[in-house]
Structure 1
C-alpha cells in the first residue's frame, strides 16, 4: 500500500503546527509563571521547552523576543518546582561556582577532583560566599568546567546544590544534575568568561532557605 505524498505532507504540516502551538503555550505559561511567581503546569513547560529548546529560541526571534527568555523560564520554573525539597535537605549540600568569578590575581591551586581551592584572600566575592557557606553547612566547589561537576557528584554525592552560572549554562547543568540531587540555580548578573559577578545576597538567601 502506497501512502500518497500529499497526505504525508498534510500530516507533517499538522504535526508542525501542533508543535509550534505547544511551544507557544509553554512559553506563555513559563513567562507568566516567571513574571507572576505563580507556577502553572511546570512539568509541561519544562518538558516542551527542553524537548524543543532550539525551535523555541527560533520562535522567540521570529516574534522579536529576546531568546534568553527560554533559558530564564527553564531555570526559574525548575527552581520553583524543586524549592520545597531543597529547603528540606539537611545532609550533604554543595555550591558550584564558575572559575570565571575568580579575581585575575587569584593564587588558588586546582585540585583534579574538587576544582580550585579558595585561599580566602578577599579579592573576589567567592570568599564571602565561602564564609556564608561554612555557616549554613554548604561545601563550595569552584569548577573549571562541567566535567568537574560530574566528578564531584560521583565522589562527594551531594543531596542538593546551588549552581551559579549564566542562564544557558544553568539550563543545561540543572537538567543534567536534577536526576541525582535537588538543584537551585542563581544566574550571573555579569557574565562572560572573565571577571563575572553574581548577586551574593541572592546566593546567601538560597542557603538561608535551608535553615527554615
Structure 2
C-alpha cells in the first residue's frame, strides 16, 4: 500500500512534464507562425514543418479558442511543402506531371460518372473550367484527374508512381494530400482554391496553367 502514493506521484510528475513540454512546443509553434506571417519568410522549413505536423490538431484548436484564423496553419504547411518539394516538381519533365482537381470544382449540372479508379470521368461539356483545361492537357499528353476525395491521390500514384503531381484543393484537403505525397518523397506543388465550399468552388486556372507548364533547370 505504501508504494501506491509514490507510483501515482511519479505518474503525476510525468503528466505535468508532458504538459509543460507540449505548452512550450505550442508556444514555439505560435512564434514561428507569427514570424512567418509577419516577415513573409519561411524560417527553418524542415523543423517548422515537423513541429506543425506533430502539433497540427492542438495548434488548430488553440487558434480557434483564441478566435484566430485556423486556416493559417494549413496554408503555412502548404507553403513550406511547396518550398521544400517545389524544386523537384519544377525540374521534372512536364509530360510526367499529373494534375489532381477536387470534386467540388465541377458544376452542379455535371453529368460525368465517377470511377473508383480514375475519379470523375470528365465529359468536357464546357460547363466548368476543368473541361477546357483538360483539353489543353490532352494535347500535351498530361493526365488530369478529378478526385472524389483526398485519399484518391493514393490510388492515382499506384497507377502512376513516377509522376510529379500538381494538386488543387481547399486548405484542409490540399494540406492532407500534400502530407501523403511528401511522406513518399513525391515531387509536388499545391494550389489553393480561390473560392472554397462544398459545391461549385473556383480556382485561378491561369495560375494552374502557369505552374503546370513551368520548367526549371
- Is the structural similarity TM-score above 0.5? yes
Q: CA RMSD in A?
A: 2.4
The corresponding residue for 1:13 is: 16
Contact preservation (8 Å) 2:150, 2:173: no
The corresponding residue for 1:99 is: 103
Q: 1:113 to 1:4 in 2, by over 3 A?
A: closer
Q: Spell out the pairing of 1:1-212 with structure 2 (5 A cutoff).
A: 3=6, 5-33=8-36, 36-90=39-93, 92-134=96-138, 138-180=142-184, 181-210=186-215
Normalized against structure 1, the TM-score is what?
A: 0.86
Matched residues in 2 for 1:34 and 1:172: separation? 21
Contact preservation (8 Å) 2:100, 2:168: yes
Give the SS at the match of 2:23.
Answer: helix
Instruction: From the CA coordinates, give the structure whose radius of gyration is larger.
Output: 2
Normalized against structure 2, the TM-score is what?
A: 0.84
- Stretch of structure 1 that moved more, 152-161 or 26-35: 26-35
